Structure 1
Amino acid sequence: MSEDGRPQAPLMTNTQADRVKEVARLAGRPSRLRRREFLAEGPQAVREALRLHLDRRVSGGDVGGDVGGDVGGRIVVDVYATQDALDRHQDIADLLALNGSPDVRRVNPDVLAAMSSTVTPQGFIAVCTFVDVTLDDVFATAPRLVAVLVEVRDPGNAGTIIRAADSAGADAVILTSGSVDPYNPKTVRSTVGSLFHLPLVIGVELEGLIERLRDAGMTVLAADGYGATSLDDLQDTSAARRFATVQEPVDSGAQGRELGAQAAERPDAAVAGTAGPAVPRLENASAWLFGNEAQGLPDEVTAAADARVAVPIYGQAESLNVGTAATVCLYASARAQRLR
């Protein structure tokens, strides 16, 4: 018996057991799609999967909330762990002891290695149900910040963007058709648990997506190294609007009042005292489009966006990795939205 009174299964030691092989097959996409399950490996990913699982069980399995899961609210099907890992991570052992948590099956290191997709497993593997939701689910929450991956195919980059979106407080991540499978073990590891924190929409057809984002009240920004709009400029004008709106200048600050009046009359324009072209406001609800590592965004996508925004490069690097660029862009929007 375990400490919480539940029957404890015997230690798994047979690397050739059918169960071990079934878990290992989830490293391949055909098995994932057939079973609608995937692997979360390592203490951080398993910890976050368990927290979401328990939240869902407590809330009654409302799949229309922040993240998906099966109808019963179940996120984690099974957990496999070595005794050493359970001893080293008491917080995870405590989660596994709570009512509603899945059973944990103790395995020896050889069995864990046979199940794992990594060369050096970290003591825990969880079999999880798919957590993606629909576009309608996302739009129903009136999102203010969304990351869209347009044919991003590198698992590490996709995972980095999901993690950056989570860190910036984004409301969802959307992956278009042709993007990497977010349940790929490399992608899951790269998210470091963020996969379980925010809504994920996968396999979205690019045609009509920009119109749907715009219909949802979002400004569509294409991250493009050759874009005519600089992210620096967007941040500067955002700061100028905030300064002009918040600060109450005395008579000697007539210029500040003049800028504030201009911002009120032309809310979508840069506050520069000129009649320059309208520019997007980072304070507004925004969807950022991030493109393929080699080709970037398709021309028809950048043409349909409200603006093509470039992250300035001050050194001699040829370009920014898409994950790095996404982090900078998402944080720029997040900061402007929080200070508006």
Structure 2
Amino acid sequence: MTEPSPQLSSPRSERVRQVAALGRRAARERSGTFLVEGPQAVRELLLHAAADAVALYLSEAAGARYADLVRHAQDAGVPIWSCTEAVLVAMADTGTPQGVLAVARRVDVPLEVALDALGEDGFAVVLTHVRDPGNAGTVLRGADAFGAGAVLVSAASVDLYNPKVVRSTAGSLFHLPVSLGTPVDDLLGACRARGVRLLAADGSGTTLLPDADLSGRHAWVMGNEAWGLPGEVLERCDQTVAIPIRRAESLNLAMAATVCLHASAAARSATA
């Protein structure tokens, strides 16, 4: 059991500055740690990846309100720091923190480990050059919701440990294997080498989603928010699939990925 440390009261203390620095990518990469903000995300960290939790920081009021977080941290031996509201504001990425944040070690896994998680009939989502934090986090949340085996994020995509991405995953970051930083060509090649069919989600597709074969191991390949999937990526995919749309001009990346992931999950339910 871990007892709370003395209260952090100075926003200028070295510890507070180190935590606040994790809002910057360089500091995250240097330390191998990142910020987890809000009771929901912190709860999922402590329940599913407690071994990667470095420290828990919370206000006195939040400690009383979220006693389960304190208990989970104590059970896992995670250091607990009581903080003033001013200290939490100084450390958090959000302007109005919810009284709870944690520091965690990176939780991503090597690409081969993520592909192993697909088993014999799993599906994944591949993010190629995705730059918007909200989109990336929402795709990961959708992948978790519909039972995807893994999320594969290419090099040159947004940093998944950006605080905005972490918040938008709502804790799903700690639920399924995530691989980061592999160049797109190598990522697609690794999928092919493991027998994972590549389905490009793109409006140019001649196969509509309801007609797509979603059996077996496959990965949805999603493109950049602004320019989609380039021709060379489309050529490397086994099939290009379009989502039928009745009136709207298009769906944004996160919405399209969610629709595709739901279809993969539904295909499995139909054959169960």
TM-score (norm 2): 0.95
State whether structure 2 residue 96 is matched by structure 1 residue 96: no
Partner SS state of residue 207, structure 1: helix
1:151-197 C-alpha deviation (Å, 9 max, x unpaired): 00000000000000000111110111110000000000010000011
Query: How far off its partner does 1:7 sit?
Result: 4.2
Check the 8 A contact 2:127/2:154 in 1, yes or no.
Answer: yes
Mapped to 2, the partners of 1:186 and 1:7 lie a distance apart of 30
Mapped to 2, the partners of 1:108 and 1:329 lie a distance apart of 44
Check the 8 A contact 1:142/1:216 in 2, yes or no.
Answer: no
State whether structure 2 residue 248 is matched by structure 1 residue 311: no
Mapped to 2, the partners of 1:141 and 1:52 lie a distance apart of 16
The residue number in structure 2 matching 1:24 is: 20
The residue number in structure 1 matching 2:142 is: 164
Residue of structure 1 aligned with 2:188, choices 210, 213, 216 = 210
Query: How far off its partner does 1:314 sit?
Result: 0.7
1:125-149 C-alpha deviation (Å, 9 max, x unpaired): 1000001111111233344111100
The residue number in structure 2 matching 1:133 is: 109
Partner SS state of residue 7, structure 2: coil
Distance 1:306 1:9, change over 3 A: same
Q: For the pair shown, which has the larger CA radius of gyration, 1 or 2?
A: 1
* Runs of 4+ residues deviating >6 angstroms: none
What count of residue pairs does the alignment treat as equivalent? Answer: 269
Mapped to 2, the partners of 1:140 and 1:10 lie a distance apart of 44
Residue 299 of structure 1 aligns with an amino acid whose one-letter code is G
Q: Which of 7-16 and 135-144 deviates more? A: 135-144
Distance 1:161 1:142, change over 3 A: closer
Mapped to 2, the partners of 1:124 and 1:137 lie a distance apart of 31
Distance 1:86 1:7, change over 3 A: closer
Residue of structure 2 aligned with 1:105, choices 81, 85, 88 = 81
The residue number in structure 1 matching 2:262 is: 331
Mapped to 1, the partners of 2:44 and 2:92 lie a distance apart of 18
Q: Which runs of 5+ in 2 are unaligned?
A: none
Residue 67 of structure 2 aligns with an amino acid whose one-letter code is Q
Partner SS state of residue 181, structure 2: strand
Partner SS state of residue 184, structure 2: coil
CA RMSD of aligned residues (A): 1.3
The residue number in structure 2 matching 1:201 is: 179
The residue number in structure 1 matching 2:49 is: 53
Residue of structure 2 aligned with 1:33, choices 16, 25, 29 = 29
Check the 8 A contact 2:206/2:240 in 1, yes or no.
Answer: yes
Distance 1:122 1:48, change over 3 A: same
TM-score (norm 1): 0.77
Distance 1:312 1:76, change over 3 A: same
Query: How far off its partner does 1:329 sit?
Result: 0.1
Check the 8 A contact 1:53/1:101 in 2, yes or no.
Answer: no
* Residue pairs, 1:78-89, within 5 angstroms: 78-89=55-66
Check the 8 A contact 2:3/2:80 in 1, yes or no.
Answer: no
Residue 212 of structure 1 aligns with an amino acid whose one-letter code is A
Distance 1:229 1:7, change over 3 A: closer
Check the 8 A contact 1:149/1:290 in 2, yes or no.
Answer: yes
Partner SS state of residue 10, structure 1: strand
Check the 8 A contact 2:137/2:168 in 1, yes or no.
Answer: yes
1:255-281 C-alpha deviation (Å, 9 max, x unpaired): xxxxxxxxxxxxxxxxxxxxxxxxxx2
